[in-house]
């Protein structure tokens, strides 16, 4: 997918970013956008094959790349991956906590291990990663971007585990923005809407409901991984040097109160659809 060219190509020259879950989906889209603006990129994930395919793509964009197999649930593994990245690319200027897990399960059927698994990947994994990256970010006065989700704002059916995890991430983000601001470390969250072609959408929008999903999005389309990648490079860049503790919603309006089913019923009753 073509990366848009609105920002100077050397905006992030000689900067390094480390992205958890960077081998695919939104996180790989973020990695591409950093690479296209001159940054070097560290990625980690659980599958070495995915990481190596991503490496080739990022190197083709001109980045130096560090890959590490690590599960964010394991503090020692993620700390080692960050050390390996530092050896290859130097102390990181930006951390993206993007690794996540999801499946649809109404609470009455969900196993306690299923609930715990998502909390461990999303919330505890984000803390582990931020904690392990603290010394590097303190050195560079860098920034952290947490990948949240619309479930942070309110209840979604069959998503109690993800809602609890993402709301936790956003509170963690604000705590760290407050505590680590004195070191020059900025912390923000991106709240992506439904992003086309991702594992998350395969899991959530299965069953032929694509058209209905799109009808519930005020901008009338799914997002792209570049929509999220562009916001991430903005947040990491000097353009956002006074932005911290913010939730930046990049969702085509999907989470606006009154969009979705209620908005459709009203607009239909007024003859607009
Ligand atoms: N419905 C209900 N429960 C489910 C489930 C589903 N579709 N998928 C997994 N679980 C439960 C399992 O039953 C298990 O609990 P149990 O031992 O009591 O049966 C628990 O979750 C852990 O599953 P497991 O597959 O062992 O965990 P894992 O660590 O290998 O995988 C997941 C983690 C479950 C999040 C897996 O879906 C995953 O790896 N996802 C990564 C990609 C992803 O989700 N991307 C979307 C991001 S938005």
- Tell me the CA distances in angstroms from 45 to 79, 96, 121, 180, 254, one per residue in order: 13, 13, 11, 26, 29
Parent domain of 65? 16-269
pLDDT digits (tens, 9 = 90+) for 198-253: 988 887 777 777 888 888 899 999 999 999 999 999 999 999 999 999 999 999 99
Contact 160, 220 (CB under 8 A): no
Indicate the top mutation candidate among 70, 73, 98, 103 to test ligand 1's pocket, ranked by most ligand atoms within 8 A of CB.
103
What confidence score (pLDDT) does residue 212 get?
83
163 is a domain residue = yes
89 is a domain residue = yes
220 is a domain residue = yes
**CA 252, CA 215: separation in Å to the nearest integer?**
11
pLDDT digits (tens, 9 = 90+) for 47-92: 999 999 999 999 999 999 999 999 999 999 999 999 999 999 999 9
223 is a domain residue = yes
| Number of domains, the chain | 1
Strand partners, 189: 146, 247
Q: Give the pLDDT band of residue 273 (cuts 50, 70, 90).
A: low
3 is a domain residue = no
8 is a domain residue = no
Look-up: residue for tokens 């009338």? 220
10 is a domain residue = no
**CA 128, CA 76: separation in Å to the nearest integer?**
9
pLDDT digits (tens, 9 = 90+) for 201-210: 887 777 777 8
Specify the CATH number for the domain of residue 152.
Answer: 3.40.50.720
> What's the 28 CA to ligand 1 centre distance in angstroms?
21
- Ligand 1 binding pocket (C-beta < 6 A) is 100-103, 105, 110-111, 113-114, 117-118, 121, 199-200, 203
Question: Residue 214 has which token pair?
Answer: 């799109």
7 is a domain residue = no
Atom of ligand 1 nearest to the CA of 114: 21
- Tell me the CA distances in angstroms from 173 to 77, 170, 246, one per residue in order: 22, 5, 9
């Amino acid at each position: 997918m073509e990366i848009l060219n609105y920002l100077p190509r050397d905006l992030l020259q000689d900067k390094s970013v480390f992205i958890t879950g960077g081998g695919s989906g939104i996180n790989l889209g973020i990695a591409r956008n950093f690479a296209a603006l001159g940054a070097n990129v560290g990625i980690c994930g659980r599958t070495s094959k995915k990481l190596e395919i991503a490496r080739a793509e990022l190197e083709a964009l001109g980045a130096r790349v560090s890959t590490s197999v690590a599960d964010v649930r394991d503090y020692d593994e993620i700390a080692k991956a960050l050390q390996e990245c530092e050896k290859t690319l130097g102390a990181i200027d930006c951390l993206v906590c993007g690794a996540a897990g999801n499946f649809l399960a109404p609470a009455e059927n969900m196993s306690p291990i299923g609930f715990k698994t998502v909390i461990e990947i999303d919330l505890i994994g984000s803390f582990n990663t931020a904690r392990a990256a603290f010394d590097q970010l303190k050195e560079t006065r860098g920034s952290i971007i947490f990948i949240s989700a619309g479930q942070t704002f309110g209840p979604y059916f069959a998503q109690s585990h993800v809602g609890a995890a993402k709301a936790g991430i956003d509170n963690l983000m604000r705590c760290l923005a407050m505590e680590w601001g004195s070191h020059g470390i900025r912390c923000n969250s991106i709240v992506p809407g439904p992003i086309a072609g991702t594992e998350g959408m395969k899991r959530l929008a299965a069953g032929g409901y694509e058209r209905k999903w799109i009808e519930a999005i005020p901008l009338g389309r799914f997002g792209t991984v570049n929509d999220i990648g562009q916001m991430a490079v903005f947040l990491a860049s000097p353009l956002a040097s006074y932005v911290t503790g913010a939730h930046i919603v990049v969702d085509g309006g999907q989470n606006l109160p009154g969009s979705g089913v209620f908005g459709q019923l009203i607009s239909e009753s007024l003859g607009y659809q």
